[in-house]
Chains A and B, each alone.
Chain A
Amino acid sequence: MKVLMLGWEFPPHISGGLGTACFGMTEALAAKGVEVTFVVPRAYGDEDARFVRVVGCNDVAAALRAEGGAGDPTRLEGMAAELYAVESDDPGVHRLVEVDSLLTPYLNEEEYRRRLAKEQGMRSDLLSVPGTTMSEIRQILAMHSTDLTGARRARRFIESFAPSAFTGRYGPDLMSEVARYAVVVGEAAMNEDFDVIHAHDWLTYPAGIVAAAVSGRPLVVHVHATEVNRSPEGGANPQVREIEKLGLDAADRILAVSDFLGRILVDEYAADPAKIRTAHNGFLPFDGAEAAVNRRTIHDPIVLLLGRVTFQKGPEYFLRAAARVVKAIPNAQFVIAGSGDMLSYIVELSAELGIARNVHFTGFLRGDAVREMYDQADVYVMPSVSEPFGIAPLEAMSLGTPVIISKQSGVAEVVSGALTIDFWDVEAMADKIIAVLQQPALRKQLVETAHRDLSRLSWAEMVDTLIDVYTEVLS
């Protein structure tokens, strides 16, 4: 079986959960004999005349070495010259198709323009601000049809679009870039050999639809999060919602990372429940978790919230619970590790609630600092308002830190070694934080059960669901 996976990031440059998930399932699929052609956006810049770079798996390693080291442009030039010429039979990613694009996971319009401005060496407020173009995307989404006419129409569309898509200019706004990406991927898909298309999250849905149209192959969309999750307070971007909806409708099967998310797809997007399958994420423990450095010097109890500081992640509920905990445990310390559009408000609120001395802000953490933070914490709280899955609590659990998670999360479906609360119930949240901090027996029980939970969450098991779904759509 051959899969064209429209994924995100590729080692060694993985920055987020979406990249980690794509890599985890690709590796596990390969181990079960599924051949994956991994398509990923990567920015090369205007001066680079290539739009698609295809690397066989032997060369993936070499390219990574070249890039990780001093960099060897001539070597990469050479590889590009062998476009579509490299074949390999190694396990893992069989072909890596890099499309020159500014798309990154979880991108929004504002962030896209910042990236574009940086790429063009301009201030983002000086970039022209044309009306966001949905027409191209609508054309793309309308072409979904597996009949010949559809495929022919798709090819014609690509041809007519191609000159502008291949000029090497990134789209002036996010939606044009999503459309441009779809066209380039469609072009690449005409030259690839695959049985099924697997697209991750809305930015790749149009590309998946084009690839399906030109190839006549079935499309599986994999939903890791939706605009509804990201904006539970309202204000969801209608264009994103539209693309999500059309992607879900165009898909032959929909993979949701949790039942919780699946229900949102049905309730909010009117997705066909018959097409939806739940595939809980796997989990790869940190490398050498035991060797983690813990330079903890704060001997007061530490309660951790680690994640983006946005409404979705529930930081305000965390603080309000903290204010209650401090009444019972005056020396309890609360660490908010992350950054986001709500940070200023949360910082001010911590001062207003009279717990300024108990609350710490670390800013955005990466790499070892994340691990150290989990390690330092006596309890990790994920009070998310709407969390499609939630990998962070698993990371905390893997380092022996007890966790409290909101019931409004996917991860609550797969762990029993965690305390759960409704995100809005700050009283219960405070009670449970106090309980974990004060009852060693409870902590021990949670940590032990958590280890059992984690041992069951493997990507190897998870991809069995993918293979079932691929088989279904191919039969």
Chain B
Amino acid sequence: MKQVVFYFQVHQPYRLREYSYFDIGHDHRYFDDELNEEVVKRVAQKCYVPMNRVLLEQIRAHEGRFRFAMSISGTAIHQMENWAPEALDSFRALVDTGCVELLSETYYHSLSALYDEDEFAAQVAQHRRTVEGIFGVTPRVFRNTELIYSNHIAWRVQQLGFAGMMAEGADHVLNGRSPGEVYSAHGSGLPLLLRSYQLSDDIAFRFSNRGWQEHPLTSEKFADWVRAQRDTDQVVGLFMDYETFGEHQWEDTGIFDFMRHLPGSLLGQGNCGFMTPSEALATHAPRGEIDSHDPLSWADVERDLSAWLGNSMQRAATDALYDLAGLAHEAAARGRPELLKAWRLLTTSDHVYYMATKDHSDAEVHNYFSHRETPHDSYIAFMSVLGDLRRQLAQ
């Protein structure tokens, strides 16, 4: 019996406006509210609301046998509260079925796990409070930004009291082992669920690719692939961005219909089921160990940090950002909490993602997500914002 563990990531950053050198010291509005509102409304309408409807139908149709996990960043929740409350309601309806587990993450979808452990803990706590307040549930399993994992991060996550963590089933850490088993993190022993990137990307990236030899992908064909995984596999981790449905892959590709039929196709033959991460970790004991000192992630072909820290601009921007952490906390302590909030909104990993200068297909993915013309434009705007914030913090 193979247990499919679906996990959908919901995230929206607060995108920066075209902040220029001449704004430094004059204008402390860093974010493009108009654009952010437009994007979250569009994504709510094209993806969140219709896809939540599909999933809710399927949960009901299969009387709870179809279950899965979601993680919603704090910045996405906050934007939905302001600009797309109907989308937030539809997420609430899903969680209220009891079949949808919400995962924990940093409120700001940040790289703080790599840079500032206190800040990391603070952002995780802020996210937990938000999820408890809005959904009335407390997350038990952790998902770090972009599935960034290292032995050390797992140790921190365990210290924060989580039952397990999601990670990428990267070839170079599996060394031929299957991603379809529960593992434990080297050192801490924290249980891990891994992403089966092949099957996940078949849905998230290849589904609508007409050049793909498997196109068109039907739910029956996909269910066959799941059943064809190794006999010893316990779980099949299908982790992907939720915006895959209706936003990255438009409705006319048939992606909604595919997902409408997939639970039935998988449940139909009796040897497949669905579990949430907590259920999978409670059912299966770890069989092996994942040992990675260097951080791995689910991004790009490298599955490392190069999507956010691959070039000198990204590293310089991140260093400059985290250098301000102390000043931002001091400002909050002396009555300027809005400055700490602004700083935290800048920790959202998307800002440095837009600065990536990669070649080939990864560059297309980065450009797709970016609202700027070039990575350099993104860097310049970000650094100008930091210049202003640094001055505000120094006052």
Task: Determine which of A297, A335, A343, A356 lies in contact with B25 in the assembled complex, contact meaning CB atoms within 8 Å.
Answer: A297
Whole-angstrom CA separation of A363 from B379 in the bound complex: 13
* Interface residues on chain A, size class: 20 to 34
Main DSSP-derived SS at the A contact region: helix
Stretch at the interface among B87-95, B185-193, B315-323: B315-323
Chain A residues numbered 355-371 whose CB sits less than 8 Å from any CB in chain B: 356-357, 360-363, 369
New A-B pairs, 14, CB < 8 Å, besides A347-B380, A360-B387, A362-B22:
A295-B26, A297-B26, A297-B391, A298-B24, A344-B374, A349-B312, A356-B313, A357-B383, A357-B386, A357-B387, A360-B380, A361-B376, A361-B380, A372-B22
- On whether the beta carbons of B21 and A357 are closer than 8 Å, the reply is no
Contacts of B357 in A (CB 8 A): 344, 348
- Give the one of B21, B22, B386 with max A CB within 10 A: B21
Whole-angstrom CA separation of A343 from B373 in the bound complex: 14
Whole-angstrom CA separation of A184 from B214 in the bound complex: 61
Distance (whole angstroms) from the CB of A87 to the closest CB of chain B: 48
Distance (whole angstroms) from the CB of A443 to the closest CB of chain B: 23
Query: Is A352 part of the binding interface, using a Cβ–Cβ cutoff of 8 Å?
Result: yes
Whole-angstrom CA separation of A356 from B387 in the bound complex: 10
A-B contact pairs, 28 of them (CB 8 A): A295-B22, A297-B391, A298-B24, A298-B387, A298-B391, A343-B376, A344-B374, A344-B376, A347-B376, A348-B357, A348-B376, A350-B316, A351-B315, A351-B316, A351-B317, A351-B379, A354-B316, A356-B313, A356-B316, A356-B320, A356-B383, A357-B390, A360-B380, A361-B21, A362-B21, A363-B380, A369-B22, A372-B22
The 10 closest A-B pairs by CB, nearest first: A297-B25, A356-B316, A351-B316, A351-B312, A352-B312, A362-B21, A351-B313, A347-B376, A361-B380, A360-B21
Across chains A and B, the number of contacting residue pairs, with CB separation under 8 Å, is 66
Whole-angstrom CA separation of A347 from B379 in the bound complex: 8
Contacts of A360 in B (CB 8 A): 21, 24, 380, 383-384, 387
Q: Decide yes or no: A348 and B20 within 8 Å by CB, A297-B391, A356-B383, A360-B384 being known contacts.
A: no
Query: Is B198 part of the binding interface, using a Cβ–Cβ cutoff of 8 Å?
Result: no
Contacts of A344 in B (CB 8 A): 357, 374, 376
Chain B residues numbered 341-395 whose CB sits less than 8 Å from any CB in chain A: 357, 374, 376, 379-380, 383-384, 386-387, 390-391
Chain A residues numbered 244-303 whose CB sits less than 8 Å from any CB in chain B: 295-298
- Considering the complex, give the chain B residue whose CB is closest to the CB of A354: B316
Chain B residues numbered 288-320 whose CB sits less than 8 Å from any CB in chain A: 311-313, 315-317, 319-320
Distance (whole angstroms) from the CB of A95 to the closest CB of chain B: 42
Contacts of A347 in B (CB 8 A): 313, 376, 379-380
Distance (whole angstroms) from the CB of A179 to the closest CB of chain B: 35
Contacts of B384 in A (CB 8 A): 360
- Considering the complex, give the chain A residue whose CB is closest to the CB of B313: A351
- Considering the complex, give the chain B residue whose CB is closest to the CB of A349: B312
Task: Determine which of A295, A298, A348, A369 lies in contact with B313 in the assembled complex, contact meaning CB atoms within 8 Å.
Answer: A348
Distance (whole angstroms) from the CB of B53 to the closest CB of chain A: 40
Contacts of A335 in B (CB 8 A): 21
- Considering the complex, give the chain A residue whose CB is closest to the CB of B375: A344
